[in-house]
C-alpha cells in the first residue's frame, strides 16, 4: 500500500495547486488538507484554546465552539490521546468543521478518522457529505490511546463538502469528540466470481490507514453494503468490527483481515446470489492477530439455515486454522454472517478489546 517518495511529492504539489484534497486511482490513502491539524492557526485567531473566526483553522471552515488543543495531560487531570501528531481539534456543543474536496461522481470512498471521546458523556461524531449522514458512537473505547474509525460514502458530484459535527449538547459546552487525523481512500466495487460468490473475500479492499495505526481501523456498527467502509460487506452489529493490516498484525492471507473485537455484538455479513435448493460449500480461516489476545475463542458462521461453531485456542502467536461446511440455499439470496461467541481483552492491556481474526471467505457451488 506504500507509495514512492516521488508519488507522495507529486500528490502534495497537486493538492497545493488545486486547493482541494482528492483521491487517485490505486494509490495509498491521502490526508485531507491539513488533515492532521499540524498546520497551526494564527495566534491572533486563538483565545486560550478556542478558535476565533470561521477560517481560523487553516484549510478548514469552522462553526461553533471548536478548540485547538495539544495532546497529552490537560489541566484538571484530563488526558487527550493524540496518536497521529501533536495537535488536534475538539468539537464543543453543536460545533462542526468542514472542508471541500474533489472526488469522482459515483465512486466509493472511505474517510479514515483518528477520533476519541474527551468526557464521560455519550459522545457522537456526525459525518455528513451531500445526501449522506452517519452518526459514529464514541462511548465505547476500543483502545486507550485513541481509535481510528472508517466511514464509507458514495460521491454524488465531483466537488463535495465533508462535515464533522458534534450533535450533542452536554453540561460542559467544551465536551465533545476529539479529531486528530482525517484521510480519504478511494474504493473499487468488488465483484463475485463463479469460483467464489463472496465479494471482497480476503478483505483486500479496506480502509488501510495512512497514519501509523497500530490498533487497526474500526468499522462502525450498522453499515449496509452499499456504503460500507468495508466494500461488499455489511457491518450489522451493535458494536464495531476492526479492519487490520499485515503491516501491524498477523494476517493469514494477503494484506487485510477482520478482527471481531466485541463478541456477539461485533458481526459482519454479506448477501450472496444463490440458486434455491442448490448445495454450497463455505470455507473460511480464523486465527489470532498476534496482538496479545489470548484465550479460548470461537467464531460462529451462519448460512441459510445452517450454522458452524469453530473453536480456536489462541496463544497470541499468530496461528490460524481453516474450517468449512456445506449449506443448502433456500432462496435466490443467502445471507452469510460471522461473529465471535466470546469477549476478549489483551493480556497486558485490559482496556483494549480484541478477538479472533477472520480471513479468506470462500463460497462455491458443490458439483
The set of residues, in sequence order, having a beta carbon less than 8 Å from that of 222 and lying 6+ positions away, is 235, 236, 237, 238
Pairing of strands 46-47, 256-259: unpaired
Query: What pLDDT, on a 0 to 100 scale, did the predictor assign at position 145?
Result: 64
Q: How many CA atoms lie less than 13 Å away from 55 in the CB half-sphere? A: 1
Q: Residue 22: helix, strand or coil by DSSP?
A: coil
Categorize the per-residue pLDDT at 262 as very low, low, confident or very high, splitting at 50, 70 and 90: confident
Task: Tell me, yes or no, whether 324 and 268 share the same domain.
Answer: yes
Q: Residue 330: helix, strand or coil by DSSP?
A: coil
Query: Domain end: 186, 211, 231, which one?
Result: 186
Task: Tell me, yes or no, whether 22 and 152 share the same domain.
Answer: yes
Query: What pLDDT, on a 0 to 100 scale, did the predictor assign at position 6?
Result: 36
Task: Tell me, yes or no, whether 144 and 222 share the same domain.
Answer: no
Are the beta carbons of 288 and 250 closer than 8 angstroms?
yes
Mean pLDDT of 281-305: 93
Task: Tell me, yes or no, whether 126 and 233 share the same domain.
Answer: no
Categorize the per-residue pLDDT at 213 as very low, low, confident or very high, splitting at 50, 70 and 90: low
Task: Tell me, yes or no, whether 165 and 210 share the same domain.
Answer: no
Query: What pLDDT, on a 0 to 100 scale, did the predictor assign at position 42?
Result: 96
Q: Which domain holds residue 360?
A: 189-365
Categorize the per-residue pLDDT at 20 as very low, low, confident or very high, splitting at 50, 70 and 90: very low
336 pLDDT exceeds 60? yes
Query: Domain end: 135, 152, 186, which one?
Result: 186
Mean pLDDT of 19-47: 74
Q: What is the pTM of this model?
A: 0.86
Task: Tell me, yes or no, whether 139 and 52 share the same domain.
Answer: yes
Are the beta carbons of 213 and 207 closer than 8 angstroms?
no
197 pLDDT exceeds 50? yes
Categorize the per-residue pLDDT at 285 as very low, low, confident or very high, splitting at 50, 70 and 90: very high
Domain total for the chain?
A: 2
CATH number of residue 58's parent domain? 2.60.120.260
Backbone angles phi, psi at 70, to 5 degrees: -105, 135
Q: What are the pLDDT digits (tens) for 159-178?
A: 999 999 999 877 777 788 88
Categorize the per-residue pLDDT at 77 as very low, low, confident or very high, splitting at 50, 70 and 90: low
Query: What pLDDT, on a 0 to 100 scale, did the predictor assign at position 292?
Result: 85
Who has greater pLDDT, 339 or 84?
339
Amino acid at each position: 500500500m506504500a507509495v514512492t517518495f516521488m508519488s507522495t511529492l507529486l500528490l502534495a504539489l497537486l493538492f497545493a495547486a488545486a486547493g482541494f484534497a482528492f483521491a487517485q486511482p490505486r494509490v495509498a490513502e491521502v490526508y485531507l488538507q491539513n488533515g492532521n491539524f499540524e498546520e497551526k492557526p494564527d495566534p491572533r485567531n486563538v483565545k486560550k484554546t478556542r478558535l476565533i473566526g470561521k477560517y481560523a483553522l487553516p484549510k478548514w471552515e469552522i462553526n461553533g465552539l471548536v478548540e485547538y488543543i495539544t495532546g497529552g495531560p490537560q489541566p484538571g487531570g484530563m488526558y487527550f490521546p493524540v496518536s497521529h501528531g501533536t495537535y488536534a481539534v475538539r468539537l464543543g456543543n453543536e460545533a462542526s468543521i468542514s472542508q471541500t474536496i474533489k472526488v469522482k461522481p459515483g465512486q466509493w470512498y472511505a474517510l479514515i478518522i483518528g477520533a476519541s471521546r474527551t468526557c464521560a458523556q455519550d459522545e457522537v461524531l456526525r459525518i455528513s457529505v451531500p445526501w449522506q449522514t452517519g452518526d459514529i458512537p464514541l462511548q465505547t473505547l476500543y483502545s486507550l490511546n485513541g481509535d481510528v474509525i472508517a466511514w464509507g460514502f458514495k460521491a454524488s458530484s465531483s466537488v463535495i463538502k465533508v462535515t464533522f459535527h458534534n450533535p450533542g449538547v452536554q453540561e460542559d459546552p467544551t465536551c465533545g469528540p476529539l479529531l486528530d487525523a482525517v484521510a480519504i481512500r478511494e474504493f473499487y466495487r468488488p465483484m463475485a466470481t463463479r469460483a467464489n460468490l463472496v465479494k471482497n473475500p480476503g478483505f483486500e479492499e479496506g480502509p488501510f490507514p495512512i497514519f501509523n495505526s497500530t490498533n487497526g481501523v474500526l468499522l462502525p456498527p450498522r453499515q449496509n453494503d452499499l456504503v460500507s467502509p468495508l466494500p461488499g460487506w455489511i457491518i450489522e452489529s451493535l458494536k464495531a468490527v476492526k479492519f487490520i493490516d499485515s503491516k501491524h498484525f498477523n494476517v493469514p492471507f494477503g494484506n487485510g483481515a477482520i478482527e471481531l473485537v466485541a463478541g456477539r455484538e461485533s458481526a459482519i455479513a454479506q448477501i450472496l446470489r444463490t440458486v434455491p435448493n442448490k448445495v454450497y460449500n463455505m470455507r473460511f480461516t480464523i486465527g489470532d492477530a498476534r496482538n496479545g489476545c489470548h484465550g479460548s475463542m470461537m467464531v460462529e458462521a451462519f448460512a441459510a439455515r445452517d450454522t458452524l461453531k469453530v473453536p480456536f485456542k489462541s496463544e497470541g502467536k499468530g496461528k490460524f486454522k481453516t474450517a468449512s461446511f456445506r449449506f443448502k440455499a433456500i432462496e435466490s439470496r443467502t445471507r452469510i454472517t460471522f461473529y465471535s461467541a466470546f469477549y476478549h481483552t489483551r493480556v497486558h492491556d485490559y482496556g483494549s478489546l480484541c478477538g479472533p481474526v477472520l480471513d479468506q471467505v470462500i463460497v462455491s457451488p458443490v458439483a
